Structure 1
Amino acid sequence: MTSIPAEPQATPAPYGTPDAPRLAVHGEAHLEVDPEIARLGITVSARGTDRRTTLDDLTRRNTTALHLVRSYGDAVRRLETGAFTLSPELTEHGQSERVYAYQGRVHITAELTDFTALGELATRLAALELTRVDGPWWDLLPDSPTHREARRRAVREAVQRAREYAEALGTTLTALVELADIGAEIAERPVYAARSARRTALDGADPGDGPVTLALEPQRQHVHARITARFTMAPPPL
């Protein structure tokens, strides 16, 4: 029995055909919204001539900072400890090196969703002994509906733009050929909205003084979405 070879399938033309012209458009959306989270960077330090004493001081200050952040309950979305270091400091001169001090640090990140507690927490942390506070950094949640809304608006704009081009030619769209997501992301990374708050024991400040709460204004977030859409049209009357 003789087999009949299959007919090769026609490859679609990359730019359409006279019977099915192809139209490619961009769709973009830009939203400006309030931030949903704020991050604080906390660095707890200790320094001394004795290794064990330095480590004990660092442990105590780290525990104090963690307890303070946790005391804000549901206002804190995430609390994480980053790098921990305890390193000797050596003499720079002389025939032999020797340890003359120890330096210890613990880096903590606190993420808050309640901005009414943010300024108070930042000020109280800055009042702790040998504790540095950096931030806040403003951001949106990874699953924020703002990203989804930006993508939807970009798609709607692409469809509307394609329809307008088709109408200008006196025809209509017939099918969607391709939809490509170019990206939806925060255009400008969060920056400081206030100067870093820092206070150490060397400042001569007493944590029991009850410092005035630092006023922090949330920074608006800019979200962009951009897509490319390709359609086919009915042949226009030219």
Structure 2
Amino acid sequence: MSDAPLISVRGEAVLEVEPEIARLSVHVQSQENDRRAALDHLVERNQRCLDLVQSYGEAVEKLETGGLTITPVLKHRRREGDIRAYQGTVWIKIVISDFAVLGELVTRLGDLERTYVNGPDWALRPGSEVYGRAARQAAHEAVARARSYAEALGSRLTGLVELSDEGLYERRSFDQRARRGRPGGRARDRPPVRARPVAGERPARRPR
């Protein structure tokens, strides 16, 4: 093992870029006195929601439906068999790539009966080239910092001993608004949806 001194430094890069996608989380509910009626209404409302989202075609990059649950709602004393209603819930995850339709879609989803919308969450795609740019900038910063330290000690860099990528941290700046639909009602307070910058961060550690 070499006895040459080592310098361990950390490089970090944060890039502010326009978001590439917007994520929405939609919860659809039903509540009826009869279990079967609760299930039927939940399936109907879920399908209505899916049909609406799918009508936007290629503007929707991803559409995912989660598990469907029917839960008994007990009366206050919670005695066995003392059920006053059945509540159904299903969630839908939506990824939007065309922000031009986002505001309209959120509003129309919020108008659906017993449908609750959270979002949008602004983000980059998992394979975005922004992450690579951030990684390269972080590595360059680490090299420059190591070289500066070496010169301050009257030495110079001779090579790379180890490169450690501590992972990617995506910091989202997003405007999260909830749209709540009421039975027979319409969503209120619908400000325009605007994209916010997101930051891709990549730390890199370079021992010398």
Please give the range of the TM-score, normalised by the shorter of the 2 chains: 0.7 to 0.9
Tell me if structure 2 keeps the 8 A contact 1:132–1:199: yes
- Aligned to 2:63, which of 79, 93, 116? 79
Q: CA deviation at 1:62?
A: 0.7
2:207 corresponding residue in structure 1? 230
What is the alpha-carbon distance in structure 1 between the residues aligned to residue 80 and residue 155 of structure 2?
A: 87
Q: Percent identity?
A: 43
Q: Once superposed, what is the RMSD of the aligned Cα atoms?
A: 2.5
What is the alpha-carbon distance in structure 2 between the residues aligned to residue 26 and residue 101 of structure 1?
A: 58
Please say which structure displays the higher CA radius of gyration. Answer: 1
- Aligned to 1:150, which of 130, 134, 137? 134
Q: CA deviation at 1:217?
A: 1.4
Secondary structure (helix, strand or coil) at the match of 1:92 reads: coil
> Structure 1-normalised TM-score?
0.77
1:236 corresponding residue in structure 2? none
Unpaired runs of at least 5, structure 2: none
Whether 1:122 aligns to 2:106 is: yes
What letter is aligned with 1:141? R
What is the alpha-carbon distance in structure 2 between the residues aligned to residue 90 and residue 183 of structure 1?
A: 46
What is the alpha-carbon distance in structure 1 between the residues aligned to residue 48 and residue 207 of structure 2?
A: 58
What letter is aligned with 1:125? L
- Aligned to 1:138, which of 78, 101, 122? 122
Tell me if structure 1 keeps the 8 A contact 2:118–2:176: no
Residues 103, 171 of structure 1: CA spacing in aligned structure 2 closer, same or farther, 3 A cutoff? closer
What is the alpha-carbon distance in structure 2 between the residues aligned to residue 134 and residue 98 of structure 1?
A: 33
- Aligned to 1:184, which of 168, 177, 191? 168
Whether 1:199 aligns to 2:181 is: yes
Unpaired runs of at least 5, structure 1: 1-10, 232-238
2:74 corresponding residue in structure 1? 90
Secondary structure (helix, strand or coil) at the match of 1:64 reads: helix
What is the alpha-carbon distance in structure 2 between the residues aligned to residue 127 and residue 23 of structure 1?
A: 60
What letter is aligned with 1:160? A
Tell me if structure 2 keeps the 8 A contact 1:120–1:214: no
Q: What is the total number of aligned residue pairs between the two structures?
A: 208
Tell me if structure 2 keeps the 8 A contact 1:88–1:99: yes
What letter is aligned with 1:40? L
1:50 corresponding residue in structure 2? 34
Tell me if structure 2 keeps the 8 A contact 1:76–1:111: yes
1:162 corresponding residue in structure 2? 146
